[in-house]
Amino acid sequence: MVVPVSARLDCPLCGAVVVDGVDDIAPGACPQCGARYEGGEGSAPDAVAAALTAFGADALDPAHVTDAVFRLSPAESTACGVAITSDARDDFYRWWLFVRTGPDGDPVAVLASL
Ligand SMILES: [Zn+2]
């Protein structure tokens, strides 16, 4: 039997509700600030590693990025445009890495600046 789950994800950079009440969350972008988010793994290091691959930032060290993003204060996250957060589900959650790049932005450059 499949138990339906209701998943919700809020943008850690601007506070907007990205998705709510869905069965599962797919990578995408914040409807308010445009930050892209990738990951969706059960642990933060796994989510960062998956996100780096999705952003084309394989050259970066996932352990370094994970460590750096958790050291950011909320104000620092907003300033540099990178934040990690977990979604909310009925009985578990997954981690997502948000990167805000602007119109011509390069997520690799943003992540490499951490
Ligand atoms: Zn946002």
- Residue 51, classed as helix, strand or coil, is helix
pLDDT at 1: 58
Task: Measure 15 CA to ligand 1 centroid, in angstroms.
Answer: 6
Q: Where are the domains of the chain?
A: 7-19+28-112
pLDDT at 23: 87
Task: Measure 87 CA to ligand 1 centroid, in angstroms.
Answer: 14
Distance CA 114, CA 91 (A): 32
Q: Are 39 and 51 in contact (CB under 8 A)?
A: yes
pLDDT at 3: 61
Task: Measure 20 CA to ligand 1 centroid, in angstroms.
Answer: 14
Per-residue pLDDT of the chain (114 residues; tens, 9 = 90+): 566 668 999 999 999 999 999 888 999 999 999 999 999 999 999 999 999 999 999 999 999 999 999 999 999 999 999 999 999 998 889 999 999 986 678 899 999 999
Task: Measure 11 CA to ligand 1 centroid, in angstroms.
Answer: 5
Distance CA 102, CA 2 (A): 39
Beta strands in 1-114 (DSSP E): 7-10, 17-22, 28-29, 36-41, 82-86, 95-99
